[in-house]
Amino acid sequence: MKDIALLKNHPAALFGMFLWGLAVILIFVKVALEPGQHTVLDSYLLGADRWIDRVKLYSGPGGFIYTPTFAVLFVPITKLPIFLADLLWRLFIIGLYAWASLRLLRHFQEYSGETLFNRFGLFSLIAVPIAFSGFRNGQVNVILIAAMMLVISQIIEKRWNSAALILALIMSLKPTFIVFFLLVTTLFRPFWLRVPLMLLAFLSLPLVFGGLDYGLEQYNNFLEMADSAVDRGVTTPNWASFFNIPMQLFNYSVPENLQNILKIILAAMTWAVCFYAIVRHGTRTGLIYLLSFAACYHVMFNPRSVNTDYIILGSVLAFWFTAATCQWRDKALAWTTGLIALGVLFAFDISRTLVTDATSWFNPLMAAVFTGVLIWQLSSKRVFAP
């Protein structure tokens, strides 16, 4: 009762808590009235159905674009009626995201005078509006950021086996997880043996359930599809990635070779900064910097980023906003992260309003600005734990 009373004294946090219920209600109504609409579940089911029929999983850089392991694990969902599958899938990703957020916040709540309820409410104030389109569409990116937050929590708790299991599973389903995956697995020694073995086990599932010939054929098809998908991302200017900013604003295309060189350099710098944060400020604080820099790099340099993918960045912004408000009482940082979050939330409209026919340049710009904020905080020796 004390927690609830304290929450009522913070209307912003109370409204953040209300947003969860509103999101679930709106999605339930949407699924009930328009089953199968505004969802990417059909793409997932397409892969599973093709697996069942033992036909080629991929038909180019659209449709089903996940790994053969994803198709295998999604087969049970094909047995459900479309309405039930749509609803349960969305409720699953929303519940996972909420649970992962709470798990992460709980590790830092003890250093604040506020309750966990209040902190979660403030977090939700930013996270839920940005995440809503991902909830509505049933996007796997909701699972990606939830997995990132869960892994951070489990490393803090030294639960290496369960953390390794999550890393291996998600990496076996969606290769764009590789940014966070490589940072964590290279920086923490307990993962060096665990993760490769578990990843190999998950990747072998298509060979076990589909046979060696069919499984290997689908992996070969997956590589061809991935190559064409990346090529489309690099050559099409309407994606929400960093190197598309000059194309959308100035009609200038950054050469692909230069893009690759810069990505490698920035990847090395990201790894070094995360290593420094862990060594200089300890595991707990260093992991938040790792999560934050990984999120920025992921959304900026994935050639097929879209505006709805920025739930990954929005979740990190929500965490920093909450810490600035509850833990440090830093109004400047709270306003800065809050305004960046508003930019992410309304990026589509801002992009289109400022530049005709350009809809995806403002989000990567916000990610770049937040990267600068992170460097500022790290240089200022901002820590989350004594």
Give residues with Cβ within 8 angstroms of 79, minimum separation 6: none
**39-57 confidence digits (pLDDT tens):** 888 899 999 999 999 999 9
157, two tokens: 């708790």
pLDDT of residue 112: 47
Closest residue by Cα to residue 69 from 171, 193, 187, 142 = 171
1: burial class by Cβ within 10 Å (0-12, 13-18, 19+)? exposed
Residue with tokens 């808590």: 17
The ranges of the chain with pLDDT < 70 are 1-10, 36, 109-114, 385-386
C-alpha span between 115 and 210 (Å, rounded): 50
Burial letters 47-78, b for 16+ CB under 10 A, else e: bbbbbeeeeebbeebeebbbbbbbbbbbeebb
Q: In the chain, count of helices (H) and strands (E)? A: 19, 0
Model pLDDT for residues 253-297, shown as the tens digit of each residue: 899 899 999 999 999 999 999 999 999 999 999 999 999 999 999
Say whether 67 sits in a helix, a strand or coil.
Answer: coil
- In terms of Cα–Cα distance, which of 76, 21, 19, 10 is closest to 48? 76
- Indicate the pTM of the whole model: 0.93
Spatial separation of the C-alpha atoms in residues 216 and 220, rounded to whole Å: 6
pLDDT in tens, 154-197: 999 999 999 999 999 999 999 999 999 999 999 999 999 999 99
pLDDT, residue 385, reads 67
Considering only CA atoms, which of 85, 96, 118, 92 is closest in space to residue 13?
A: 118
**Three-point CA angle 368, 234, 370, nearest 5°:** 10
CB 38 within 8 A of CB 30: yes
DSSP letter assigned to residue 323:
I
DSSP letter assigned to residue 254: P
